[in-house]
Amino acid sequence: MTAATLHDVLQSAMRGHYAVAGLVVLGWEDAEAYVAAAGDLHMPVILQAGPGCRKHTPVTILGRMFRHLADHAKVPVVCHIDHARTYDECAEAVDHGFTSLMIDGSSLPLDDNIMLTQKVVALARRHGVSVEGEVGAVGYDGRGGSTMTSPDEAQRFERETGIDALAISVGNVHLQTTHAAVIDRALLARIESVTAVPLVLHGGSGIQPEERRRLARESRVKKFNIGTELRQEFGRSLRDYLALHPESFDRLELLQATRDPMRRLAQDVIRNLGP
């Protein structure tokens, strides 16, 4: 297999009435575990490098790493940049092998968001990669900042930008450590009725797994971003291992202890959204 675009995997998901997991990557170990989990289940997966990951590791390395994993995978692997805020970040990501760009203009006035997203879509079309945009704003747990997506704005944004996928705010919140999100199904239905592209929910960890499953099958939400619950599992498995092996100090040994638990949880997340 080789790297897939977001467009390809989400259009297949639309036809098959399932959704694809966008899994937050922070390093080699978790990325490798996610691709292994997807391979176990014969399902596509979206590897996501967000702002924290890019601050820690240069995009040049992340691009090579994601493409290496995609090249050796048995399933489609999307190499995705999460929450790029500028055109230059997107251009750099394309140069280093990413096949999918999220341009987040959600903090801008709608006209400016549309203009920025149009520029990124033009860049993406020249290079055969995909674009996810955002209308409304998905806030952060405990910090607020959410603005529910207006169906009218979503319709205009989709029509004027030509994005491949649209991130919306319908009660989903980033960084929730419990399944506390309350999804406004009526608002989601109104957005679905005036748009046509696959929809994306950031803050997937905050949504009950049963509800994710229902949405994956019954709605046009075709991508769920999942980070927090995977990071919680990383911390839990590392703490468990250290409690049993208090003398351990080797980085590879410690990280290896998290690998199978991360793979198992990624399997659960991917399977739950599957057909």
Binding mask of the shown chain, residues 228 to 257, with x at each position contacting Zn ion by CB under 5 A: ------------------------------
Q: Which is nearer to Zn ion, 39 or 51 (CB)?
A: 51
**At 46, which helix (H) or strand (E)?**
strand 45-49
Provide the minimum distance between the beta carbon of 24 and Zn ion in the complex, in angstroms, as a whole number. 9
Secondary element (H or E) of residue 131: strand 130-135
Stretch that binds Zn ion, among 39-47, 115-123, 199-207, 240-248 (CB under 5 A): 199-207
Query: Which residues, other chains included, contact 161 with Cβ-Cβ below 8 Å and sequence gap of 6+?
Result: 114, 117, 118, 121, 131, 133
146 or 237, CB closer to Zn ion? Answer: 146
Task: Check residue 202 for interaction with Zn ion (CB under 5 A).
Answer: yes
What phi-psi label fits residue 173: left (phi over 0), alpha (psi between -120 and 50 degrees) or beta? beta
Stretch of 73-81, 157-165, 198-206, 252-260 lying at the interface with Zn ion (CB under 5 A): 198-206
User: Considering beta carbons, is residue 70 or 168 the nearer one to Zn ion?
Assistant: 168
With binding defined as CB under 5 A, does residue 212 bind Zn ion? no
- Applying CB under 5 A, the span of 125-133, 200-208, 230-238, 252-260 interacting with Zn ion comes to 200-208
The kind and range of the H/E element at 83 are: strand 77-84
By the rule CB under 5 A, 67 interacts with Zn ion: no
CB of 138 to Zn ion, least distance (A): 6
Q: How far is the CB of 144 from Zn ion (least distance, A)?
A: 15
- Closest to Zn ion by CB, 202 or 212: 202
Select from 4-12, 144-152, 202-210, 243-251 the region that touches Zn ion (CB under 5 A).
202-210
Q: How would you class 64 by CB atoms within 10 Å of its CB: exposed for 0-12, middle for 13-18, buried for 19 or more? A: middle
d(CA 209, CA 190): 23
The answer to whether the CB of 87 falls within 8 A of the CB of 121 is no
SS3 (DSSP) at 253 = helix
Task: Give the integer Cα–Cα distance in Å for 135 and 213.
Answer: 23
Active-site residue, selected from the candidate residues 30, 71, 82, 184: 82
- Is 82 annotated in the active site? yes
Q: 96 vs 202, which CB is nearer to Zn ion? A: 202
What does DSSP assign to residue 206? G
Report the catalytic residues.
82
Q: Using CB under 5 A as the criterion, which residues of the chain lie in contact with Zn ion when the complex forms?
A: 202
